[in-house]
Amino acid sequence: MSKTVSLDKLIMLTGDLPPMPQVARRIMEIVNDPATNAQALQSVISRDQGMSGQIMKIANSALYSRSRKIETLSDAIVMLGFNSIKNIAIMRATKNLLNFNRKGRVISLKDKLTWEHSVGTALAGRIIARRTQRRFAERAFMAGLLHDIGKMVLLQKVADQFDGIIEEVYNTGRHFMEVEQEKFGFTHAEIGALLVKKWNLSEELEKAIRLHHDIKPEMKVDTPLVYFIDLANKFCHKIGVGFIKEPDLELKDELSAIMLGVKEEDIGDLEKSIQANIKEEIGFFQ
């Protein structure tokens, strides 16, 4: 593939960006309807055994621990709340990009590390938001989950070429964005933002994903989601979740930490909490 190939050319060669799966799309419609109720949501979810099982598993995870076991789907929906159900639907739609099987391709270590990093960033973003701006917790989770969805599209659409980019990043330490721009002429952040737009998710989320590798002090940002993505992403780099491992990263100096009001004395505690939460919870998102 030419270095100067445009995103339009990629789509023309490989097909359009993936649509949101039908069940996830219907769940989004129901959750966004102010007149909806839990029974309508249960009716849709119960038709998808995988979705139902995922919701039950997460409802009974340590993250949502209760004094009694959640045994019915209706109780799980009420307990988790509509925003969490929406996040789970998006999570399954996102992972579906990696599960896409063509010509015998199976889930590889690269796929696994990409997915684990996305889930780790989602969990980290939620923890950071709960400590700083709690009302953004579920939005920070979704933003973290989707921040690298462009990479998943590339793994699906141009697997051989993107495998080469992954190997170069892993072996040389160069940044994904730098190598992608060199090889393709566009980046996973641009593709991710386009996919979020196609899926009719929020403009706030689209903007945060587009900018998450490009934050600058002079940049005008009308949503903190881009800072949650950036800081959560870097916490995952520091503790080694995914391809990139930067144990010496000084997070207190990061612009995103400063903008979110995360102080030097908070970093160590946040790192421990994020590391423990990822270790305990990541299995529920497989």
Residue 103 has pLDDT above 50, yes or no: no
Q: Are residues 156 and 282 in the same domain?
A: yes
Q: Which residue has the higher pLDDT, 244 or 107?
A: 244
Tens digits of per-residue pLDDT, 209-242?
A: 999 888 888 777 778 999 999 999 999 999 999 8
Residue 134 in any domain: the answer is yes
Q: With b meaning 16 or more CB within 10 Å and e meaning fewer, what string describes 28-52? A: bebbeeeeeebebbbebbeebeebe
Average pLDDT over residues 95-124: 78
Query: Of 59, 78, 99, which one is at a domain's C-terminal end?
Result: 99
Among 87-91, 92-96, 158-162, 282-286, the least confident range: 282-286
Does residue 74 share a domain with residue 147? no
pLDDT at 106: 54
pLDDT at residue 15 greater than cutoff 70: no
Average pLDDT over residues 114-127: 94
Residue 172 has a pLDDT of: 85
CATH number for position 218: 1.10.3210.10
pLDDT surpassing 60 at residue 28 = yes
Contact 200, 222 (CB under 8 A): no
**Two tokens at 244?**
């990139």
**How many beta carbons lie within 10 A of that of residue 12, not counting itself?**
11
Q: Do residues 134 and 256 share a domain?
A: yes
On whether residue 38 sits in a domain, the answer given is yes
Q: How many domains is the chain partitioned into structurally?
A: 2
User: Tokens 């309807």 map to which residue?
Assistant: 33
9 is a domain residue: no
Domain-terminating residue out of 50, 66, 99 = 99
**276 pLDDT above the threshold of 70:** yes
User: Which comes out higher in pLDDT, residue 1 or 178?
Assistant: 178
| pLDDT the model gives residue 65 | 59
Please, what is the average pLDDT of the chain?
A: 86
Residue 65 and residue 90 in one domain: yes
Taking residues 27-40, report their average pLDDT. Answer: 89
For the record, the structure tokens of 78 come out as 């009420």
The whole-number average pLDDT for the span 206-210 is: 93
Are 126 and 66 contained in the same domain?
no
Q: pLDDT at residue 9 above 70?
A: no
Token pair belonging to 191: 């593709």
Task: Inform me whether the pLDDT recorded for 142 exceeds 70.
Answer: yes
Residue 62 has pLDDT above 80, yes or no: no
pLDDT of res. 2: 44
pLDDT of residue 255: 93
Confirm if 156 and 94 have CB atoms less than 8 A apart.
no
**Tokens standing for residue 79:** 């307990």
Q: Is residue 5 part of a domain?
A: no
Is the residue at 50 inside a domain? yes
- On the question of pLDDT at 261 being above 50, the answer is yes
Per-residue pLDDT band for 1 (boundaries 50, 70, 90) equals very low
